[in-house]
Every structure is written in structure tokens, then in C-alpha cells.
């Protein structure tokens, strides 16, 4: 079944490279289609006919489009992709792979080598932050704000007081 909404990621000219990178990290992922510029694309966007225009790909069941649209737009932190991780092993796995060539930010955020922002978040953190005991949730929040990559054991220790 085709989904009605899927993000389109604007790249200068690395759409296919990025799609291959992302699909190598996430399980159950694949490149679905690759389209190429025609002569008209060259005339309008200055892209060589035959070069990659767009890539459709799936990351663990979520569909994305990647467009080689040129350098006019770049990614900002105004949008990020969040990965819900069941344990520290998953946090470490995604963090280490997405960080290759990128840079760590804060509070579980990183920018990958293409400038796209990701949040690598253990699902247990959401439970901690939503706890009705505000002392516990505040301690978890304070601990998270001091971290770059999120560490579940440290978050739990803070949460429990």
C-alpha cells in the first residue's frame, strides 16, 4: 500500500550516495527507484542528461525520496529524523554508523555527513520524561541535557535518584 506522506530530502548531488548509505545502516531497507535527468533537466537545472535526479528508498518500512536539486537549499536542525531505540546496543549501533563523517551535537542529536540531523533516542527516555513524578522526570531531563550520545544507564541512575 502506498503511503500518502513521505519526506523528500534535498541534496546537491549526493542523493544516490546518501540513499545507499542510509539503506546500508537500517535493516529491512532498500532502494526502490532511481530516476535520471533528461535533456530538459539540463536545460532547466543545469544537470547533465543521464545524471541521477531522484532516488526513492525505504528505511525499515518508511519511504523517502532523495532529490539532487542543487546547492540552493541545505538541511537545518529545523527538521530531524528520530530513531526510537529499544536498548543501548541499538543507540550505539545507529549513533556510530550515522556519525561516520558527521558530527555529534547534543541530547542524542547528530548531523550525518550530508548535514541531515538525526535524534538517536532510547524509548525508555520517553517513559522517564512522561512520568507523573516530576522529580524523577526532571532528574532524567537534567541528565539528558548534559549528554551528547544518550546513555541509558546514566539516565536511569538520574531518574531513580
How far apart are the C-alpha atoms of 16 and 56, rounded to whole Å? 9
Residue 36 scores a pLDDT above 80: yes
pLDDT in tens, 116-145: 999 999 999 999 999 999 999 999 999 999
User: What share of the chain in percent tops pLDDT 90?
Assistant: 88
pLDDT at 44 exceeding the cut of 70: no
- Coil, strand or helix at 25: helix
Q: Is the pTM of this model over 0.85?
A: yes
pLDDT at 78: 95
Q: What is the DSSP string of 101-148?
A: TSEE-STTEEE-TTS-EEEEEEHHHHHHHT-S-HHHHHHHHHHHHT-S
The span from the CA of 116 to the CA of 110, in Å, is 8
Q: 56-84 pLDDT, tens per residue?
A: 999 999 999 999 999 999 999 999 999 99
For 28, counting Cβ atoms within 10 Å of its Cβ (0-12 exposed, 13-18 middle, 19+ buried), the class is: exposed
Extract the C-alpha cell encoding 123.
Answer: 524509548
Amino acid at each position: 500500500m502506498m503511503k500518502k506522506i513521505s519526506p523528500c530530502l534535498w541534496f546537491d548531488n549526493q542523493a544516490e550516495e546518501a540513499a545507499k548509505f542510509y539503506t546500508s545502516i537500517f535493516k529491512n531497507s532498500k532502494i526502490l527507484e532511481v530516476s535520471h535527468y533528461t535533456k530538459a533537466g539540463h536545460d532547466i537545472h543545469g544537470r547533465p542528461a543521464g545524471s541521477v535526479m531522484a532516488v526513492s528508498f525505504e528505511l525499515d518500512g518508511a519511504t523517502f525520496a532523495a532529490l539532487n536539486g542543487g546547492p540552493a537549499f541545505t538541511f537545518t536542525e529545523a527538521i530531524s529524523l528520530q530513531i526510537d531505540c529499544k536498548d543501548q546496543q541499538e543507540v550505539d549501533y545507529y549513533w556510530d554508523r550515522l556519525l561516520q563523517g558527521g558530527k555529534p551535537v547534543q541530547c542524542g542529536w547528530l548531523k550525518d555527513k550530508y548535514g541531515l540531523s538525526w535524534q538517536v533516542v532510547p524509548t525508555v527516555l520517553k517513559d522517564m520524561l512522561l512520568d507523573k513524578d516530576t522529580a524523577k522526570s526532571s532528574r532524567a531531563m537534567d541528565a539528558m541535557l548534559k549528554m551528547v550520545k544518550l546513555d541509558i544507564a546514566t539516565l536511569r541512575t538520574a531518574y531513580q535518584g
